[in-house]
Structure 1
């Protein structure tokens, strides 16, 4: 069952949304503050976080940005914003905050449920706005072919336009297309050759990609498509490895915990105080665990808070060390 976290400070509107969404087969958690929304979302990783845009306390876009900055959350969850603003600046700001979609108020419940299903299944949904890249535009699709330049918009193009692809044989073919013999080519002509090579790989020249293209053009097109697929698969694997490393770092727990001060660097703690803290946490953990059992608390929001508190107590005990004198 897909999970949705609803964050809205107005009780009536929150309850109306929750009941309507629950009737359509979603598991709904209700949240009344942005701070609680961030903590619960990062702890439970719901399929979709549904956030109202207007809050008397806090900034919805800032809260969404903090959630989407977490790599695991960005991978597992999506944010949908309910807003009565539709101007371009607002949509761009929402996109920059990592929001997957902005749905306008008043909300069409049929549309909302349809979009929630798309986001829950991780189907493609266009972002709220297209963010234009900075830099000059010449009206054509261009790329700087210097590998160490920061102007590369897509890392995939590095794989397509590598030395193995733009080899001597390939350049000779480009020279043939430009009616050149390959001797003493001027720098300007070299740039034209590289642009033509890019067109040949990515866009396709008018002659090769016309309705009357011959069998050789089809073979070349198929070969280029294969190279692009290889490059995309390689880049996807690299991104997967980067995400895995980032998540692994987040999961690393420190071996020991010490209190550090500016004056002495390390501050001694009374062992009796630590023991009292440990015993208190053990009692809190047991109590919160009992309260968090199914059927003990009917309020879903309160139940989530209790479960989070129980986990925090457990983590604190693990850091201090259990059953130590």
Structure 2
């Protein structure tokens, strides 16, 4: 059994979650890096990680590291992805993986050239529940897919300097919570949709505070994506078919769904464990690296980033 050594670049909140929950038989969390050696040291000590570095370059020069997990702010993703790939490391990067499709294409081409795995840490593409729901849908008993609703509302303190509203830090709801909602819609749609319409209300800094987007594909499947950074809303995804509809509460890391049939019966589907969401990402990454399964979520990531581009292009025309 091959063991893989992981390193972390960027030690923010999600990196703490990643390190705290890291439980893998084939992987070891071996090193972390920050621009502050003290910060890296404290992080390493907190999670009993053997090595730490006061620069990202030192971590990438460590020949014992096989995989890099990137959790710096969105705008910095592409630079670190390219650096890690050039250093011969596989890369799992937090969402949104890049700012646009042009950046992602550059990264994908480099990963292919170097024979490395590049993947986005999007929980929806890795939670077992979604694989199980796709299997059930493919049986055909729900009938044709008709409509998807993907709301995501989160109240953020209206501070122009924080990352949620700061354009210099790639602020705005779309590249934060919006990636979940669009990924949710794309997962269930049977082919890539296009953005039929989208309207956005900006924050005072110019970034998107709230928006409504309609997706549609050639099979006439539709999805409504509603986002807000100034109002809370339940993260309940709804996927409607001819013969039933599925409800998924807290859909970003869901392990339970309910299937409501037209005759009034309800079936509950449980698969996976919400608390292990990040470990599923790690496990699927290792399976792709070892060749046990294809890098199955990358095409979904490519489609999602393309949709985010289309949405922003619609806004630019308003």
Answer whether TM exceeds 0.5 for this pair. no
TM-score, normalised relative to structure 1: 0.31
Greater RCO (CA < 8 Å, at least 6 residues apart): 2
Higher helix share: 1
